[in-house]
Amino acid sequence: MTIDAPAGVAIAKTSLHDRDQSSYVDWPAIIAGIVLASAISLVLISFGSAVGLNFLDFGYGDGPNPIFVGIAAATWFLWVQVSSFMAGGYLTGRLRRRYFDANEDESDLRDGAHGLLVWAGAAILGTLIAVNGIGAAANTVGSAASTITNAASNVSEGAADSLDPNAYFVDTMFRSNQPTDAAAARDEAGRIFAQAALGDGTVPEADRAYLANVVAANAGVPPEEAQARVDQAIAGIEAARQQAADAARIARNTAIIGAFLLAASLLVSAIGAFWAAQKGGNHRDDNTVHPGVFRRF
């Protein structure tokens, strides 16, 4: 079967022996597309980060709406990702050497496959860069944690006893309504709250009554005021615990949504790279020029 080349396109005559010894994959063109896609992505993401930080410097009262900031950042990232992959795919399709042993449909498929390889290579490169960044952050956190650990090793013996899992139960055997040392009373109250935190956060009524008696004996206040202080402290701890739980839930949901959005954006980027590579191959075959953009000066 004879395959006609488009008008104005020179056919490179390739023997079957040469064709068997070569590959349809044009790696130099693919590498060029990966480099271009990565460079465009880096420039646009840096520009978007600068613009976003500039907006955060404005006085907006309570600050910008985090939902609006998240939507704007996700939209910008999606546009950057798709456009950079399409630019890399188009360049690869334009630079790929075409072998005239296939019809137009097969040639378009090969061009699109090269675009997918650009998408895969740039995605892997971006992942490696991100992992290296996360690794550097982890090293920083590890250094900070090491510093904190060294500092914690120098705490007093009383603070070390408060970490004893049996300290709370030992305290219950020696409880007294008589005034005690203020520091010891504070430590024992901390152990009571820590024990409650290990469960559902509820302080038993017996512990509430004991804390009220200790506060009244050491602070010299009426029992009613001491009970009010204990109730207020427990309410504050419960509110802080609830805030921490809500923050953890929001962080988990945000991570799940972010993962789905990342997967969807990568899928859209793959389609865009495939289409752009085909378009670049068509422009290559048709000798298409863009005089308004690429022209001789």
- State residue 216's pLDDT score: 79
CB 67 within 8 A of CB 254: no
What tokens appear for 260 in the block?
């789905």
- State residue 245's pLDDT score: 83
CB 232 within 8 A of CB 221: no
The model's pTM is: 0.61
- Ranked by mean pLDDT, the top range of 30-39, 73-82, 161-170 is 30-39
pLDDT tens for residues 224-261? 888 888 888 878 878 878 888 888 888 888 888 878 88
Q: Which of 136, 183, 191 is nearest to 164 (CA)?
A: 191
- Ranked by mean pLDDT, the top range of 140-154, 157-171, 225-239 is 225-239
- Ordered by start, the domain boundaries in the chain are 25-151+265-286, 158-220
pLDDT tens for residues 52-109? 655 555 444 555 666 777 777 788 888 888 999 999 999 999 999 888 778 888 989 9
